[in-house]
Structure 1
Amino acid sequence: MIPRAIKRLFHQVSIGDQSYRFMFERGPADEVVAIDCETTGLNVHTDDIVTIAAIRIRGNRILTSERFEAVVRPEADMQPEAIKVHRLRQVDVAEGPLIWKALPSFLHFVGGRPLVGYYVDFDIAMLDKYILPFIEIELPNPRIEVSKLYYERKYGDAPPNTSIDLSFAAILRDLDVPALPQHDAFNDALMTAMMYVALRDMKERGIRIPRVRTYDVFDPTGG
């Protein structure tokens, strides 16, 4: 696998549409963008995006007024399991534009800001599937994974064999983030933004998330 830094340099040279060179500019130092996508399934190669949401974060402020949302019409059929998750049927997205029409607005919205997400590599891989043929580069933005930030705050000093839970629900619970209806792209992006702000604040203040201590209890009966 080509290291991301080398790939970024290659894309700076090979970008097809020069009007998108701004993607390689870092943007405001205190801004990041939380993103989320809902898809027809979980296969990057055969499934498509149906909704995209992005929310800017400036310092410790989540700017819900500065957001990007799009419902797009997929070329792939909606998988039954995906419908159960995000509750969007084929008919619900049939009137949306194809993703190619939404990409320019999305790319101008995020610019070169770091992208924050929960298992963000999947969302970026889905987006890159369309962005690469569109402007001949993949998203060059730095990535910030909230599950990694959470792991550092809760399990970074954990002893071996500690049980680890990186689920979305566990992070919400430990950070006391309100649980909005999930698998809605905007709600998921907003909850992810709140996780990021809380975790960054904890890191700056040197605070760790407490773990429940478990002890082996000796049973003389051997049970």
Structure 2
Amino acid sequence: MLMSWLKQLSSSWQQKRLQRPELASMFAPPTAGQWVAIDCEMTGLNPRKHHLLSVAAIHVNGNTIDTGNGLHLVCRPPVMPDRNTIVIHGLRTADVEHGMSYDEMLAILLPFIDNRPIVGFCPQIDTAFLNPLVKHYMGTTLPNQVIDVRELYSRRMGNPDHSAPNPSQHLTKILAHYHIPELGTHDAYNDAVMTAMAFLHVR
């Protein structure tokens, strides 16, 4: 009861700080059976010194992944990716230098997310990069519930320790456990699709 009241209070406080009225529906209670799987590619894992490169988002409706209407948005970071990180995410300067600004990306991404709970694999990393940009854009951080597929899988396996030193390998483990085909990791859209497929098995 207390937790529910605190969540409502936090949501109300966030909504009062909203600077873009067209996004007010993000604060509405989510519709049952609707989620959005997201994945981001960055130049590194430290939001204080690294930058967002691309974001993918896909709707999950009931037991269906709506891959035909997903988003894959490439952004133009303030600092171009270097040789050491290109081998990980595959995004070169030529791929991102004509990408969207962060505001342009959010103008498309946020209405797509709307009030759906966000599903991700270690989504705390993704939201750590997104939230400062979102707050600058609309005055508040993402109000959505965030669901970590890794934690759901750990509970399903009876393991209270959610730590995973290598998140990519751990996602591979979940995919293998449920015989889910790998689409190629470190591509935001592929990772979002695989995360959505894993979510349908562990939710």
* TM-score range relative to shorter protein: 0.7 to 0.9
- How far apart are the structure 2 equivalents of 1:79 and 1:195? 31
Deviation at 1:79, TM superposition (A): 3.9
Corresponding position: 1:78 with 2:48: no
Conserved? CA contact 1:46–1:76, under 8 Å:
no
Determine if contact 2:154/2:160 at 8 Å carries over to the other structure: no
Counterpart of 1:144 in structure 2: which amino acid? I
Q: Which amino acid aligns with 2:201?
A: A
Is the radius of gyration larger for structure 1 or structure 2?
1
**Divergent runs of 4+, >2 A:** 3-9, 79-82, 155-158
1:95-136, Cα deviation, whole Å (9 max, x unpaired) = 112121111110110101000000001111111121101111
Query: Following the alignment from structure 1 to structure 2, what is the Cα–Cα distance between the partners of residues 173 and 153?
Result: 15
Aligned counterpart, 2:138: 135
Q: Which runs of 5+ in 1 are unaligned?
A: 159-163, 201-223
Task: Give the C-alpha shift of residue 17 in structure 1.
Answer: 1.9
Q: 1:43 to 1:165 in 2, by over 3 A?
A: closer
Aligned mates of 1:183, 1:56 — CA distance in 2: 20
1:41 aligns with 44
Letter in 2 for 1:189: A
CA distance in 2, matches of 1:70, 1:111: 16
Indicate conservation of the 8 Å contact 1:175/1:198, yes or no: yes
> Could you tell me which residue of structure 2 aligns to residue 212 of structure 1?
none
Between 65-74 and 20-29, report the one with greater CA deviation.
20-29
Q: How big is each residue's C-alpha offset from its partner over 1:128-154, in whole Å with a ceiling of 9 and x where there is no partner? A: 121101111100000110000100111
What letter matches 1:138 in structure 2? T
Deviations 1:68-100 (A, max 9, x none): 111111112314432121111112111112121
2:60 to 57, 60, 81: 57
CA contact (8 A) 1:41 1:81 kept: no
Residue in structure 2 matched with residue 118 of structure 1 by the alignment? 121
Give the Cα separation in 1 of the matches to 2:25 and 2:138.
12
The question of 1:189 aligning with 2:195 is answered no
Percent identity between the two aligned chains: 33
Tell me the secondary structure at the aligned position of residue 130 of structure 2: helix
1:179 to 171, 178, 182: 182
Corresponding residue of 2:106:
103
Identify which range, 65-74 or 50-59, moves more after superposition: 65-74
Q: What is the CA distance between 1:157 and its match in structure 2?
A: 8.0
Question: 2:13 is aligned with what amino acid?
Answer: F
Higher helix share: 2
Task: State the TM-score, normalized to the length of structure 2.
Answer: 0.88
Q: 2: CA distance between counterparts of 1:32 and 1:97? A: 25
The answer to whether the 8 A contact 1:32-1:116 is kept is: yes
What runs of 5+ residues in structure 2 fail to find an aligned partner? none
Pairwise CA RMSD? 2.2
Matched residues in 1 for 2:126 and 2:158: separation? Answer: 25
